[in-house]
Structure 1
Amino acid sequence: MSQLNRRHFLVTGLAAGAAAALPAGAAHADPTPTPDPAAETAQSLASRGLRTDPFTLGVASGDPDHSGFVLWTRLAQEPLAEDGLGGMPQRPFTVQWQVYADENARRVVRAGVAVAAPEWGHSVHVEVDHLSSDRDYWYRFRVGPYVSPIGRARTAPHPLAYGSGLAMAFVSCAQYEHGLFTSYRRLAEEHPDLVLHLGDYQYEYARDTYTIPGGNVRDHEGPETETLANYRQRHAQYKADPDLQAAHAAAPWLVVWDDHELDNNWADEVPEKPEIPQPNFLARREAAFRAYYENMPLRRTSIPRGVDMQLYRRIRWGRMATFHMLDTRQYRDDQGCGDGYRDCPAAVDPNRSITGAEQEAWLIDGFHKSRAHWDIIGQQVFFAQRDNNAGPAKVTSMDAWDGYVASRQRITQGWIDAGVRNPVVLTGDVHAHWASDLKLNYDDPTGPTVGSELVTTSITTGGDGADSNPASQPFLKINPHLKFYNNQRGYVLTKIDRDALTADFRVVPQVRTPGAAVHTKATFVVEDRVPGVQQTYLRPLDPAARTLGAPSIEETVRLETERP
């Protein structure tokens, strides 16, 4: 339990009038409440049935705008309980929340109460507004005598202002079993303004199913996730990790899923292995979506409705940037010719889509309406073409945009036609750092570059990885628009201002043991109105580290796709 003056929290927090933050609503409060002499009694009643601290899963904020953000927590006395209920009594609990203007939690600017209901896994989602734009805030929760850790949030600049520049990081692919979440800890220490998680936040496998050379570092609890109880337990296991908690508490997040939040390589209503009868797949999808919402700082617009959940959305960071967050799983056509690398006629079928028609139209409409300096597309799978065959046949990944060539063509043409000033695609999924130029026609390497793609490696998936010499990477030789590759673990840290977007590819040498330091492997810059990536720094190979000097294409594909 945090060490704070309980009377201070009671006087400034409990007395604040507010609407209960049930999944369908947001909580608001009077920022200048008056003392309530019945506060202690009310809190004693509110916490009945709590034997230990229920804030075992930490706190989070997300989806900021210029006047506020979402606050999140989830009560769980026993986070790894097999029934997914977190050891909580089957009744609602009243949870106080406060937002502060200072990190010492002395000046309350917003406060209220919310309801943590058992129907929603005792999660709390509070949509706070009426705050000042472009500044830091701090927040915490309380139930009974228990007080949560303090988290930091930040509001975006006013829609007509640029602000002072944006420090944004993006991450992907955190397989709990494959390593420690050291990169999350190092990310928290960077104090970014915003974090994007581009998918594979958690993995569905039972222990000893998805293993790495040398053996997994730690184990999943429970079976492969298929039921609501399974998904709640798995999310809780991840959220209980102190390094992940630190990253959530450090800054607001924008989250989107990829495949492992449900099932490897799923596509719309089609599971990974459709040849095996799975009559309960839609029920599994509904359970996964519900648990995802319960465990993420999302607004009420993302409350799942049965097997559907609205996750693609647009977040504006003043005039500086617009983030178009995509969902490339829920609406896609099934992968053509299987999930792997293929020379597949279906890949160029103009009727196939990775986004679905409605989301595609929404994205292109957003391009036309955007007045942002930077239009940033946050999404899951490799956008640029990656051909692994030096001959005339194209052998590409059917699970990435290469498997939906017409869809990629329409969206690329969409930002060209809209005159988007600086289109930048951010990507996860492939467990390695990449940087690339984007083309309208990849068959003409001399043709104009029309955008930029930055790809983050995994937090842990694949294990330690290895330092790499990008000059000897075969993919870069076959595809001249690909400019960088590294196979260590880490994240990408960016600085965005009016002149340029600067991306530091941050890496840690290993994830098997705690305490690894982070360093920048390479830095790339995207200049204003100059599409494409320009390398400004490359750290030499570390002679003390295990290196991957000249991997074959087959080895590279295996490293990023090796799954059961």
Structure 2
Amino acid sequence: MTLSRRQLLHGGIGGSVAALVGVSAVSSARFAAPRRLGEPFSLGLASGEPTPDGVVLWTRLAPDPLAPDGYGGMTVAPVTVDYEVAEDERFTKVVVRGSAVATRELGHSVHPEVGGLAPDRWYYYRFRAGSAISPVGRTRTAPALDSPTARLRFAYASCQSWSSGYYTAYEHLSAEDLDLVVHLGDYIYESSWVLARRGAQLPPQLAGEAVDLAGYRLRYAQAKGEAPLQAAHAAFPWLVTLDDHELDNNWAGDSPGLGLDVYRLPPLFRRRKAAAFQAMYEHQPMRRAQLPAGPSIHLHRRYRFGDLAEFTMIDTRQYRTPQACGDGSAVIGCADRFATDRTILGSAQRDWLVDGFATSPARWQVLGNQVAMAQSDYDPGPDLLLGTDAWDGYVADRNTVLAAAADQAAGNLVVITGDRHENYVADLRRDYADPESPVVATEFTGTSISTGSDGADLTDAGRTLLAANPDMKFYNRQRGYVRVDLDHRQWRNDFRVVPYVSRPGAPISTRASFVLEDGTPGAVEA
């Protein structure tokens, strides 16, 4: 039996939209797996969006993940997928059993939302489809709301172009002692860029640029087929958002980015957005609230960890106005970037963000952000050479957000950012037009997992940035991720780097560490 998208979104069969989008099935009906299913869990499994009483689990049945049609080698029939959550890795103390229906309409992915768990503890989970059993994953619930929480350890990552190099950093990340992983975007790239850093010929279905559902599905399947990434997902719960390459380089709201010309036509771009957002949902541990509705997806959301930290994941792509003064490249003298009607967040998301500063009781406010918030001048002389794809192109929104963080006693605001393929530390000022404006927060930008290939410790561009931006305290362009250890007194930020990704097997090291002290704006090298 096949299900149309209209039936899927409106509960046309059995009246249970919940079962169809991959949460616990409420119907007694079961859909048998094909007899010759092969290895359906080739893309691994994942968990995410932790709350004090539960998490969302994820897997996708794909015995042939790179099948050119994007359906992963599955037939048209739905399949019942069972899952178990246990207190121990051997599953002798199972606390939750359930099932979800994997349908062709959502690429045979499931997203069961598991509740009724105890706060602040580890659990183990696995899936079954027919006679096939998945690997075992591990996840953790959040502490109870506002409960005393002594410590939190997490890592954040971004930018993992498959063509640019190996995902070695994830081998090391999966071995860390963490409670959570945050991914800040560019989980896939819409184009391979034909870099061939891995010395392997791309199959024809992965050449060119993704513009439809099959194309985006294949790029997620390519990424998720990597063992290091699967291990990192299996080890910890994740919070995930997107940046531009999940759709189109430098896209902005309803405006296409720098991709294929024909898809600049509004109807075709909306269709492309819908395909990209659906593929993202199909491959990430996201809740039903993030199920896309055509060319829109709700990605700004909050998750609290006791009284210690609140993660606010924002969306700087979907509601923004197009980039000022061109396509986002660095420009001098762009007056349009100060226009008060320009926005990177949209008014509704901006109000939601600012209101959250006033109401959150958490000690640390963690802003999961995609593009650089700090002023980034690329000219050490008197001129300001600024890129307009980042917050430098949306000054009014930046000033509003940083003023609110200062005025509303939001606690300690820390912005974690991806996109740049660089590690850097920059203190954030309330108003960059005023040289005496106070520091109100700090931005830690993390480098890429693989994009940019091997990189370097300190490049000429890095020296220029450090010379031109007195609030920038560190720069590095190697690959890796960032590890954070925080308690009520201190935030410690470790930049973890690998020396190369052009071949596998690189070791990991901590290139630099910076700390923030509770109540004292500004980062200090440890």
Q: Note if 1:315 corresponds to 2:315.
A: no
Which of 221, 235, 246 aligns to 2:220? It is 235
Q: CA 1:23/1:364 → structure 2, altered by over 3 Å: closer, same or farther?
A: farther
Matched residue type, 1:455 = T
Residue 361 (structure 1) aligns with: 351
Q: Note if 1:303 corresponds to 2:271.
A: no
Q: CA 1:25/1:113 → structure 2, altered by over 3 Å: closer, same or farther?
A: closer
Q: CA 1:49/1:282 → structure 2, altered by over 3 Å: closer, same or farther?
A: farther
Q: Note if 1:342 corresponds to 2:366.
A: no
Please give the secondary structure, in 2, of the residue aligned with 1:407.
Answer: helix
Q: CA 1:275/1:104 → structure 2, altered by over 3 Å: closer, same or farther?
A: closer
Q: Which whole-Å deviations, capped at 9, do the CAs of 1:439-463 have from their partners, x for residues lacking one?
A: 0122444442110110100000000
Q: Note if 1:325 corresponds to 2:322.
A: no
Please give the secondary structure, in 2, of the residue aligned with 1:414.
Answer: helix
Q: Distance between the aligned counterparts of 2:76 and 2:303, measured in 1?
A: 36
Q: Distance between the aligned counterparts of 2:97 and 2:137, measured in 1?
A: 15
Matched residue type, 1:340 = S
Structure 1 residue ranges without an equivalent (≥5): 1-18, 30-38, 537-564
Tell me if the contact between 2:66 and 2:222 (Cα under 8 Å) persists in the aligned partners: yes
Tell me if the contact between 1:21 and 1:124 (Cα under 8 Å) persists in the aligned partners: no
Residue 76 (structure 2) aligns with: 90
Q: Distance between the aligned counterparts of 1:256 and 1:455, measured in 2?
A: 16
Please give the secondary structure, in 2, of the residue aligned with 1:420.
Answer: coil
Residue 431 (structure 2) aligns with: 441
Q: Distance between the aligned counterparts of 1:239 and 1:467, measured in 2?
A: 28
Please give the secondary structure, in 1, of the residue aligned with 2:63.
Answer: coil
Q: Which whole-Å deviations, capped at 9, do the CAs of 1:142-196 have from their partners, x for residues lacking one?
A: 0111010111110010112132411110000000001000011110010311000
Q: Distance between the aligned counterparts of 2:384 and 2:419, measured in 1?
A: 21
The number of aligned residues is 502
Q: Distance between the aligned counterparts of 1:48 and 1:286, measured in 2?
A: 29
Which of 147, 168, 172 aligns to 1:161? It is 147
Which of 19, 22, 33 aligns to 1:22? It is 19
Q: Which whole-Å deviations, capped at 9, do the CAs of 1:99-127 have from their partners, x for residues lacking one?
A: 01012322101111110111110000011
Matched residue type, 2:473 = K
Q: Distance between the aligned counterparts of 1:86 and 1:163, measured in 2?
A: 42
Residue 388 (structure 2) aligns with: 398
Matched residue type, 1:304 = P
Q: Distance between the aligned counterparts of 1:289 and 1:105, measured in 2?
A: 35
Q: Which whole-Å deviations, capped at 9, do the CAs of 1:202-239 have from their partners, x for residues lacking one?
A: 0011452xx38xx5655552431001111111111111
Which of 268, 289, 303 aligns to 2:277? It is 289
Tell me if the contact between 1:217 and 1:512 (Cα under 8 Å) persists in the aligned partners: no
Matched residue type, 1:321 = A
Farther off after superposition, 333-342 or 54-63:
333-342
TM-score w.r.t. the length of structure 1 is 0.86
Q: Distance between the aligned counterparts of 2:200 and 2:167, measured in 1?
A: 11
Deviation at 1:288, TM superposition (A): 0.3
Deviation at 1:23, TM superposition (A): 5.1
Matched residue type, 2:319 = Y
TM-score w.r.t. the length of structure 2 is 0.92
Matched residue type, 1:421 = G
Residue 113 (structure 1) aligns with: 99
Matched residue type, 2:380 = A
Tell me if the contact between 1:28 and 1:110 (Cα under 8 Å) persists in the aligned partners: no
Deviation at 1:467, TM superposition (A): 2.0
Matched residue type, 1:66 = P
Please give the secondary structure, in 2, of the residue aligned with 1:473.
Answer: helix
Q: CA 1:250/1:275 → structure 2, altered by over 3 Å: closer, same or farther?
A: closer
Deviation at 1:470, TM superposition (A): 10
Residue 176 (structure 2) aligns with: 190
Please give the secondary structure, in 2, of the residue aligned with 1:352.
Answer: coil
Deviation at 1:350, TM superposition (A): 1.2
Please give the secondary structure, in 2, of the residue aligned with 1:64.
Answer: strand
Tell me if the contact between 1:223 and 1:230 (Cα under 8 Å) persists in the aligned partners: no
Matched residue type, 1:26 = V
Deviation at 1:390, TM superposition (A): 3.0
Q: Which whole-Å deviations, capped at 9, do the CAs of 1:308-340 have from their partners, x for residues lacking one?
A: 110111111111111110110000000111220
Q: What is the aligned-residue RMSD (CA, Å)?
A: 2.1
Q: Which whole-Å deviations, capped at 9, do the CAs of 1:353-383 have from their partners, x for residues lacking one?
A: 0011110001001111111100110010001
Residue 6 (structure 1) aligns with: none
Matched residue type, 1:481 = D
Tell me if the contact between 1:179 and 1:218 (Cα under 8 Å) persists in the aligned partners: no
Q: Which whole-Å deviations, capped at 9, do the CAs of 1:116-139 have from their partners, x for residues lacking one?
A: 111110000011111110111110
Q: Distance between the aligned counterparts of 2:25 and 2:63, measured in 1?
A: 27
Alignment of 1:36-185 (within 5 A): 46-185=32-171
Deviation at 1:512, TM superposition (A): 1.4
Q: Distance between the aligned counterparts of 1:282 and 1:472, measured in 2?
A: 37
Matched residue type, 1:137 = Y
Q: Which whole-Å deviations, capped at 9, do the CAs of 1:43-81 have from their partners, x for residues lacking one?
A: 9x7222433010000000000011111000000010001
Q: Distance between the aligned counterparts of 1:120 and 1:508, measured in 2?
A: 36
